[in-house]
Amino acid sequence: MAKITLDIFRFDEAVDTVPHRDKVVVDIPETTTVLDALEHAKAEVDGSISFRRSCRSAICGSCSMNVNGITGLACKTPCNTVMDETGTVKIDPMPNFQPMKDMVVHMDPFWDKYTRLKPYLQPKDADSAHATERRVSPDDMHKLVQVANCIMCATCYALCPVVSVDPAFAGPAAIAYAYRFIEDVRDGERKERIAQISEDYLWLCAHCYACSYCPKHVDPNDRIIDVKRAAISERVMMNERGPRHALTVVKTIKQTGMLAETELIQGTVGRFNIIGLLKVAPLGLRMASKGKLPPIFMKPIPKVDEVRTIIDSLEVPVA
């Protein structure tokens, strides 16, 4: 047994204007999960400590919270893997959500974005033709299994820096779940779904990989790349900056073996978009004043053919 101090975020939107913290000492085996430690504190010390949970086995997705600065499932996190040298475990609600009571947060923005996906199959053909079952080959199903493991815990959403600066961004879980229907051979709304998730700022994802910390290994970041590829192959919103930027990056690297930043700005903003180019001109002037202006014309690096071979082998779309 060990004495573990739970340093707990406390806030009740019904009565508090600012949060405070409580320290609760529990006498438990140090391999106890953070969730069970909280259960212990609630049962033995303070019944008002609030948090969501159900399965206690990483299945229901209810218990995501921030433990010592890292967001994840409390029921999958043993205290001895996170407590500091003083035996303290600091517990907070998930970031990117408005706290309701202690670790319970308002999940509405997360669910709203999920609901916008229409997260159910929409086959094009009449149901009468498939009255009993719709068969899917093992290969086609294999593509969906990983995403189907998502338990909607919102850990990835809480970790996403783009959500924190632009709450309109769909977020990693919603885009990964959009992939689940976009790539389902039984669904008939592929292009409409891609258009929908593109309108929900698919291209804002900065590929920082913060959301790769997913307790069910869904790897939303990789699925976002897949959805962006699908958007380009279906020619959805090709006049937007996101796809233009991605295609120009690949084009310049294929041409020279390097990122040609001057070309990248023109390709992203639009070569004939005079107003857009004027808007980025001050940035160019500031870079020039610091001697950082990239060259307008770039010579290919030696062995650029090897770079081109790599790009061709990846089968990435090129402008």
The residue (of 11 and 51) whose beta carbon lies closer to ligand SF4 is 51
| Alpha-carbon distances, residue 210 vs 139, 157, 171, 177, 221 (angstroms) | 29, 9, 12, 17, 8
Number of residues that bind ligand SF4 (CB under 6 A): 28
Among 210, 231, 237, 246, binds ligand SF4 (CB under 6 A): 210
Structure tokens at 52: 């969501």
CB of 61 to ligand FES, least distance (A): 5
CB of 211 to ligand FES, least distance (A): 17
Q: Which parts of 217-276 interact with ligand SF4 (CB under 6 A)?
A: 218, 220-221, 224
The residue (of 62 and 96) whose beta carbon lies closer to ligand FES is 62
What is the Cα–Cα distance from 97 to 87, expressed in whole angstroms?
Answer: 28
The residue (of 154 and 265) whose beta carbon lies closer to ligand SF4 is 154
CB of 163 to ligand SF4, least distance (A): 7
Strands 104-105, 99-101: pairing is antiparallel
Interacting partner of 58 out of ligand FES, ligand SF4, none (Cβ under 5 to 8 A depending on kind): ligand FES
Interacting partner of 208 out of ligand FES, ligand SF4, none (Cβ under 5 to 8 A depending on kind): ligand SF4
CB of 99 to ligand FES, least distance (A): 18
> DSSP letter at 62?
-
Q: What is the dihedral of CA 146, 147, 151, 152, to 10 degrees?
A: 150
Pair 93, 103: CB distance under 8 Å? yes
The residue (of 34 and 210) whose beta carbon lies closer to ligand SF4 is 210
Q: Which residues bind ligand FES (CB under 6 A)?
A: 53-56, 58-63, 73, 75
Interacting partner of 62 out of ligand SF4, ligand FES, none (Cβ under 5 to 8 A depending on kind): ligand FES
| Alpha-carbon distances, residue 109 vs 77, 114, 158 (angstroms) | 26, 9, 11
Residue 107 binds ligand SF4 (CB under 6 A): no
Strands 20-28, 99-101: pairing is unpaired
Question: Phi then psi for 58, rounded to 5 degrees?
Answer: 60, 35
What is the Cα–Cα distance from 25 to 40, expressed in whole angstroms?
Answer: 10
CB of 207 to ligand SF4, least distance (A): 5
Residue 160 binds ligand SF4 (CB under 6 A): yes
Query: x/- string (CB under 6 A) for ligand SF4, residues 75-94?
Result: --------------------
Residue 26 binds ligand SF4 (CB under 6 A): no
Beta-strand ranges (E) seen in the chain are: 2-10, 20-28, 64-67, 70-73, 88-92, 99-101, 104-105
Stretch that binds ligand SF4, among 96-104, 202-210, 228-236, 282-290 (CB under 6 A): 202-210
What is the Cα–Cα distance from 56 to 73, expressed in whole angstroms?
Answer: 9
Q: How many CB atoms lie within 10 A of CB 16?
A: 12
Interacting partner of 54 out of ligand SF4, ligand FES, none (Cβ under 5 to 8 A depending on kind): ligand FES
Pair 48, 5: CB distance under 8 Å? no
Report the interface residues with ligand SF4, using CB under 6 A.
Answer: 150-156, 159-162, 172-173, 176, 205-211, 214-216, 218, 220-221, 224
